[in-house]
Amino acid sequence: MRIRFQLIIFMFVRTILNSIHRMVYPFLPIFARGLGVDLSTMSLLMTGRSLLGATSPFLGPIADWRGRKFGLLTGLSVFTLGIGIVAVFPAFWTLAIALGLAMIGKYIFDPAMQAYFGDRVPYHQRGTALAVTEVAWSMGFIVGVPIAGFLIDRFGWSAPFPLFTVLGLIAFFIIWRVVPNVDTHHNPVGDSREKYLTVLKSAPALAGISIALWASAANELVNVIFGVWLEDSFGLKIAALAGASAVIGISELSGEGLVALTTDKLGKPRALAIGLTANSLAAILLPFIGQTQVGALIGLFLFYITFEYIMVSHIPMVTELVPSARATLLSLNVTGHALGRALGAFLAALIYQNFGFVFVALAATLFNIVGILALQRMQGK
């Protein structure tokens, strides 16, 4: 019962972190206009934010070295500090710093959380358990982004940041109270070099990390552009973009539900293969059914539900590739996600502005195909 309670607590805490991370995407053109910069500049900002994932191998293993609780609280502290900066001094450069620190905080918090439950939940139940915490990803779009859109519409682009600063402080206090000081499931170790070498010498682990890179690159191509695409195609404004984000959030919530119901039964690698294949088909379909506003929303629903199935199948699989260096591996896996998002963010505006949305979707499909090849390599095929 205690684990179930903690899973729910962590889901709500991660919703706060994910809301800040995700609200930039649908409101990218609004942020650009509010800050007086163009889309390419915002795309570079998103690329820089994602590249901070390169710091994850140095920060994420804190949970292996100093303990899971220390890692969780450190991540929340960095996140809250970053959001607080832009809440006090709203400007382009403070936004860049805030998004960067918020991302670093997330990169510390997430591996610590996944390792924490990886220590406590048996592998055959881990897909279901981690799917509960991943509900926070969709809740960021279902709850967090509409709230942010409401505040932006009435008070300007920086209005959500004071709210999320307060929520970050509340989250810190909750985790401090809920997570025990004495961890009987994990003994912190100081030899970080040995942990890294264990992961880097494992071919399945490296292949598993590369899957995160390719799948995230595919997803980020659409993430960065979908708000611009909807505004360019149908003239959607702030409230409508927030509504579109809620549709995406519902699709991801459905994906998380599918994972909870099927991944442990199918087996993690098979579920992941299904997700990568389905997401490729959804990407190909998206520009063709997206000729109308309703069709575009249906296409985005299919794209995001299949991507969420990929992600929530992938995480529990990775937790068991190198159990002796779990948080270190998970931090390197976060690096894979981050580098993939940086690649996708860098290419998104470039492809969209020069070739159109069809080629954005085709590029996403190509990245997913490479991810399928990496999965086969992980399985030794």
Report the C-alpha dihedral over residues 148, 150, 152, 155, rounded to 10 degrees: -130
Confidence of residue 191 (pLDDT cuts 50, 70, 90): low
Confidence of residue 374 (pLDDT cuts 50, 70, 90): very high
Residue 194: which residues within 8 A CB-CB, separation 6 or more?
none
Residue 166 pLDDT exceeds 90: yes
Number of Cβ within a 10 Å radius of residue 150: 15
CA distance 149 to 241: 8
pLDDT of residue 371: 95
Residue 186 pLDDT exceeds 70: no
Q: Is 202 left (phi over 0), alpha (psi -120 to 50) or beta?
A: beta
Is residue 360 within 8 A of residue 222, CB to CB? The reply is yes
pLDDT, the chain, mean = 84
Burial 172-199 (b: 16+ CB within 10 A, else e): beebeeebeeebeebeeeeebeebbeeb
pLDDT of residue 366: 96
Confidence of residue 79 (pLDDT cuts 50, 70, 90): very high
Which pair of tokens denotes residue 320? Answer: 């068991």
Among 219, 236, 212, smallest CA distance to 303 is for 219
Of all residues in the chain, the percent with pLDDT exceeding 90 is 32
Confidence of residue 179 (pLDDT cuts 50, 70, 90): confident
Range picked from 115-124, 241-250, 286-295 for highest mean pLDDT: 286-295
CA distance 330 to 192: 14
CA distance 176 to 119: 19
Confidence of residue 75 (pLDDT cuts 50, 70, 90): very high
The answer to which of 3-7, 118-122, 183-187, 207-211 has the lowest mean pLDDT is: 183-187
Confidence of residue 110 (pLDDT cuts 50, 70, 90): confident
Residue 369 pLDDT exceeds 60: yes
Q: Average pLDDT, stretch 189-196?
A: 64
Which pair of tokens denotes residue 152? Answer: 């932006």
The answer to which of 228-242, 277-291, 295-309 has the lowest mean pLDDT is: 228-242
Among 85, 87, 89, 129, smallest CA distance to 104 is for 85
The answer to which of 45-54, 100-109, 174-183, 334-343 has the lowest mean pLDDT is: 45-54
The DSSP symbol for 34 reads H
User: Which has the higher per-residue pLDDT, 156 or 228?
Assistant: 156
pLDDT of residue 255: 73
Q: Average pLDDT, stretch 353-363?
A: 92
For the stretch 91-99, contacts whose Cβ atoms lie closer than 8 Å and that sit 24 or more positions apart, written own/partner, are 91/35, 92/35, 92/36, 92/37, 95/31, 95/35, 95/45, 95/158, 96/45, 96/48, 96/49, 98/161, 99/20, 99/24, 99/45, 99/49
pLDDT tens per residue across span 312-345: 788 888 877 887 777 778 778 888 888 898 899 8
Which pair of tokens denotes residue 312? Answer: 């929530």
**Which domains are present in the chain?**
2-181+189-378 (1.20.1250.20)
Torsion angles phi and psi, residue 90, rounded to 5: -70, 115
Instruction: Name the residue type at position 314.
Output: H
CA distance 154 to 300: 27
Residue 184 pLDDT exceeds 90: no
Confidence of residue 213 (pLDDT cuts 50, 70, 90): very high
Number of Cβ within a 10 Å radius of residue 148: 27
Length of the chain: 381
Q: Average pLDDT, stretch 343-363?
A: 90
Q: Average pLDDT, stretch 286-311?
A: 87
Q: Average pLDDT, stretch 195-200?
A: 80
